[in-house]
């Protein structure tokens, strides 16, 4: 009466629990990673963690002394974009290193 179907559900629940554990482990590891993006003028840098949260912005005095709002905005965009690209690549690499998520195409 409770043949194969019940066993399938139990196995599925076990897999989901294992996946949830993997996700938590990965989130902790990603939070510990830092990715730094540097503007082309090398006067501003942005640091993101592996969960794409901004940790810091470093602005060189030379950039502030220029009093050029457009240059400052452009520098922030460049540095942030570079840090985000590196963080995304790092997160993907970390996910692959941990075996990805079989069954989800990852």
Topology given in CATH for the domain delimited by 25-96: Ybab; Chain: A; (3.30.1310)
Which token pair is 106?
A: 């990852």
Q: Give per-residue pLDDT as tens, 19-51.
A: 888 888 888 888 888 999 999 999 999 999 988
pTM: 0.72
Q: What is the pLDDT of residue 1?
A: 45
Distance CA 53, CA 34 (A): 10
Q: Give per-residue pLDDT as tens, 80-103.
A: 999 999 999 988 887 787 776 555
């Amino acid at each position: 009466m409770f043949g194969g179907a019940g066993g399938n559900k139990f196995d599925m629940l076990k897999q989901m629990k294992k996946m949830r554990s993997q996700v938590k482990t990965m989130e902790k590891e990603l939070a510990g990673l830092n990715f730094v993006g540097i503007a082309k003028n090398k006067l501003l840098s942005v640091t993101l963690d592996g969960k794409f949260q901004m940790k810091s912005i470093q602005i060189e005095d030379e950039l502030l002394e220029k009093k050029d709002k457009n240059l400052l905005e452009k520098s922030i965009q460049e540095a942030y974009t570079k840090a985000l690209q590196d963080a995304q690549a790092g997160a993907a690499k970390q996910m692959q290193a941990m075996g990805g998520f079989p069954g989800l195409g990852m």
